[in-house]
Structure 1
């Protein structure tokens, strides 16, 4: 557990109890580029999978980031795009026991997270997890703070700043 009760918000001045420990967009970034009137005809979106124009395929996964001072994890729920072949394989195994034995898939990061440098199109590896668990997203080495945080941890002060950005836009 995080050892603090909360923080004094630098944005609004109020005391907030706790931190945002799991957060993410409801759809991949491409979803926002499609006119709302066309979405039903062009897209299929569930809580964990998305298909656009029968040619773009996405799965929701977890980017797990250790918090340095606490040992807890912050989780970004994020969308990654898969090839049609890997998406179909993921769907085949979705309800299968032992699916975590599947080799990992290459994927492109497809969520625009609130960082100064874009997170779109970062290279990732998607690791299937046991039935009932979302897959793990492993960012590939790159010059992005998200990669650095996943590999080395995020300071509690950055978690506070991130929580403020999430709460206040």
Structure 2
């Protein structure tokens, strides 16, 4: 039996996994999530990877923050708002290897409580192999705490602070 203090229930598969969670995934961009559930389908359409709300376009990405004190990284599954040409290009290469594509620009579309106000931060999106979400990084010179930690890595104590903010005891 897995010790509940050292396990988590996956929000995707619903199963209990040993260890502590090393990722957080946002289901939708905040602006779409804010639409009342009864009206959400009328104003937007989405999959687990793509979202459109009127003339606004979003791509779900992975923002990895390397651990300093242990192997691996903490993965933030966040959404980036992009212009139509970027969204359209992603649709064109969705089932292909997009690793050779130049980075695209976007804006972070989720409020990440562990870092304060994050919606609207400028980001860079790198498409990758088919079957993998694009990787997100912050634009050069961004001085927000989230950007600084993404560049320098996350200590073990900071990792536990993030888990506490997410409701782990």
Q: TM-score, normalised by structure 2?
A: 0.85
Q: Give the equivalent residue in structure 2 for 1:25.
A: 26
Q: The residue matched to 2:89 in structure 1 has which SS?
A: helix
1:62 aligns with 2:89: no
Q: Aligned residue pairs: how many? A: 155
Structure 2: gaps of 5 or more residues:
8-18
Given the superposition, is the C-alpha separation of residues 58 and 15 from structure 1 closer, same or farther in structure 2, using an over 3 Å criterion? Answer: same
The structure whose RCO (Cα within 8 Å, separation 6+) is larger is 1
Structure 1: gaps of 5 or more residues:
1-5, 7-13
* 1:117/1:144 contact within 8 Å kept: no
Cα deviation, 1:14-65, whole Å, max 9, x if unaligned, reads 9444322011210001112222222111111101110002x11000001110
Q: Give the equivalent residue in structure 1 for 2:10.
A: none
Q: Give the equivalent residue in structure 2 for 1:119.
A: 118
Q: Give the equivalent residue in structure 1 for 2:15.
A: none
Q: Give the equivalent residue in structure 1 for 2:165.
A: 165
Q: Give the equivalent residue in structure 2 for 1:41.
A: 42
In 1: Cα distance, 2:143 partner to 2:65 partner? 16
In 2: Cα distance, 1:127 partner to 1:22 partner? 19
Q: Give the equivalent residue in structure 1 for 2:129.
A: 130
Q: What is the root-mean-square deviation of aligned Cα atoms in Å?
A: 1.9
Q: The residue matched to 1:160 in structure 2 has which SS?
A: helix
Q: TM-score, normalised by structure 1?
A: 0.85
Q: The residue matched to 1:101 in structure 2 has which SS?
A: coil
Structure 1 segments of 4+ aligned residues over 6 angstroms from their partners: none
In 1: Cα distance, 2:168 partner to 2:68 partner? 24
